[in-house]
Structure 1
Amino acid sequence: MFGDIMGMMGKIKETQEKVEATKKRLDTVLIDEKSSDGLLEVTLTANRKIKSITVSDDLLQDKEMLEDYLVTILNKAIEKATNVNDAELGAVAKEGMPNIPGMDMFK
């Protein structure tokens, strides 16, 4: 029994290391989102860190429109990044979790 616990603890530590490595890798995965008319484009990492925002000069003339575009496009990009992040980290966590009866929360 003690060996099983030690093996389980080792597996959990290995999974934690894989999760951390995946988080680091997700800093290099870029998500691009742009408005349908191409006036605004944002790029962020799968860890939801903004890398760039490109704004057309046309949008700079209308503050309210620019604000609306930013909210809409940033929310879309954050949603995409969150989906990628959740899928990647969920896969690593599920793969590395020991099989504990009654603890099938990752299935």
Structure 2
Amino acid sequence: MFDKIMQAQQKADEVKKRLDNISVSGEAEGGKVKVIVTANKEVREISVDPEFYAQADKEELEEIIIVAVNKALAQAENVSQSEMQAVSQDLLGGFGNLFNK
């Protein structure tokens, strides 16, 4: 049983490392603002089209950045859930085998 718990912890650590290396993006205003985050929801990059930046007012720019960040975070959440679900199914199968012994 202890081995299964250790295996579960090890798999969770592996997934976290894998999620650190997966990047997803969110865009707003037709790609004029783009945000890249890891699947662990760490913002890595925010880029704003220079022409849009020159024409946008402060409030508009802030709102559009928020939209892009939220889209990127939603993508990251989807990837994270998919990865965790796959690991959970593997682990639950292992625990089921443990109880059937």
- Contact 1:45 1:51 (8 Å CA) reproduced: yes
Does structure 1 retain, via aligned residues, the 8 Å contact 2:25–2:71? Answer: no
The whole-number CA distance in structure 2 between the counterparts of 1:62 and 1:82 is: 30
> 2:53: which partner in 1?
59
Matched, 1:35 2:25: no
Mapped contact 1:59–1:65 kept (Cα < 8 A): no
Aligned residues: 94
2:40 corresponds to 1:47 = yes
Answer whether contact 1:47 1:85 (CA < 8 A) is retained.
yes
Q: Gaps (5+ residues) in structure 2?
A: none
Structure 1, unaligned runs of 5 or more: 1-7, 102-107
1:92 maps to which residue? 87
**Deviation for aligned residue 1:76:** 1.0
Answer yes or no: is the 8 Å Cα contact 1:32–1:44 preserved in 2.
Answer: yes
Q: What percent identity do the matched residue pairs reach?
A: 33
Scaled by the length of structure 2, what TM-score is found?
0.83
Could you report, residue by residue, the CA deviation over 1:6-63 in whole angstroms, capped at 9, with x for unpaired residues?
xx22112112101101101110000012124221001000000001000122235411
In the alignment, what sits opposite 1:17?
10
Q: Which runs of 4+ in 1 moved over 3 A?
A: none
Counterparts of 2:29 and 2:14, CA distance in 1:
35
Aligned to 1:104: none
The 1-side partners of 2:10 and 2:88 are apart by: 10
Instruction: Indicate the structure with greater helix content.
Output: 2
Over aligned residue pairs, what C-alpha RMSD do you find?
Answer: 1.7
